[in-house]
Structure 1
C-alpha cells in the first residue's frame, strides 16, 4: 500500500515525555550524567530538560507514575528514546563519561548509517545515544535502497576521537 500523503522533509520530533517514578533520580541521570539542562522544574511532579536552551526536548513527570516500578519489558510502550549527537566526538565524550561513571550499557552497534550506544534510564526506559554518519557515506544496495546493518561498534576506535 502506497502512502498518498508524505510528511514534509523538515518535520522533526519536538520532544518526548517520560513517566518516571522519581524526578530527582531521573534528573541524576538526564541532567547530571547525560548533561541536559533543566528549563523548568515543578517540584517532584515534572521537569522539562533541554540541550542548548530549547524549551524542552524531554519532559519527565510523575503524574501517573510516582513511586511505581518500571513497565514490564514484554509489553507495549516506548522502546527507546533516541538522542542524536552532532559529531562522532560528541558520542565519544558521552561514552567516556558513562564508562567513568561505571554506568551499565545494554548494547552498542554500528548500523552503517550511524553508531549507537544503548542503555536504560533509572526507570527502565530505553535510551539510544548515537550520531549519524554523513548521508554520502550511508550504505545502499544496487537498487538504491538504504542498507542498515547491526554489527559491533569499535568502542576503542570511538574513544580515539578523544585522543586517548
Structure 2
C-alpha cells in the first residue's frame, strides 16, 4: 500500500451479473485487453452459476468477475458506470479508435475539465468510462463533448485553456494535497 493511501481498505475488484458471459468475456478480454485469470462454476440459488475472472494487473487475481444469471431484460440497470483509468492521452485516443472500429454503442468523448473521458456501452449496456486525468483540477460536476482528433499537444492546449475558464481551476498537485489533509494523510 502506498504511504499516501488510507490504511484499512483499498479498492480491489467488482463482480457483475451478465446475460451472455461468452460475449462479455470477448469484449472485456478482446477489446479492453483484460486477461482471463480463472473460470469456473459454483452452485447458486437457481442452479449452477458460471464465473469468469479477469485482470489487467498481475498483483490482482481479478479486477472484474463476470457471473452468469442476469435476466436478459431488466427495467433498470443499477450500474451507473465502470471507470478505467488510462496511462496516457495517447492510450485513450488509441482506445477511442478501437471502439469506433468495434462499432460499440454510445461512444461519447467528453472533458470534465480535470479529465478526458470516453463513455461507451459494453455489449450488455453497462456504461463504461475510460479516462485520462489531466494535470489540473476544476470544480465538479462538469461535462463538455470533445473531438479527440488532431495533434495531441494542440488537444492538451485546448483542454487547459478551457479548464482555466472554469471555477476551481488549480494544479492537480494542490488539489491532491488538500484532499490528503482532509483524509488525515498529510
The TM-score normalised by the length of structure 2 is 0.67
Which of 65, 72, 75 is the aligned partner of 1:72? 75
Q: Deviations over 1:48-72 (max 9, x none)?
A: 111132211111001x32xx21432
Q: Which has the higher helix share?
A: 2
Counterpart Cα distance in 2 of 1:108 and 1:130: 9
After superposition, where does 1:72-91 map in structure 2 within 5 Å?
A: 72-73=75-76, 77-91=78-92
1:50 aligns with 2:55: yes
1:39 corresponds to 2:31: no
1:92-148: per-residue Cα shift (whole Å, max 9, x none)? 1211111122222342210011111111112221111111112xx223xxxxxx344
Unaligned residue ranges in structure 2 (runs of 5+):
42-48, 153-186
Q: TM-score, normalised by structure 1?
A: 0.75
Deviates more, 1:42-51 or 1:7-16: 7-16
What is the distance in 2 between the residues matched to 1:98 and 1:130? 14
Q: Name the structure with the higher strand share.
A: 2
Distance 1:152 1:114, change over 3 A: same
Check conservation: 1:112, 1:138, Cα contact below 8 A: yes
In 2, Cα distance between equivalents of 1:93 and 1:10: 36
Paired residues in the alignment total 140
- Specify whether residues 10 and 120 from structure 1 end up closer, same or farther in structure 2 by C-alpha distance, changes over 3 A only: farther
Q: For 1:10 and 1:132, how far apart are their aligned partners in 2?
A: 25
Q: What does 1:122-133 correspond to in 2, within 5 Å? A: 122-133=123-134
Give the aligned partner of residue 15 of structure 2: 17
Q: CA RMSD in A?
A: 2.3
Question: Is the CA contact 1:113–1:148 (under 8 Å) kept in the aligned structure 2?
Answer: no
Please name the residue that 1:108 is paired with. 109
| Structure 1 residues 55 and 79: CA distance shift in structure 2, 3 A | same
Structure with bigger gyration radius: 2
Contact 2:110 2:144 in 1 (8 A): yes
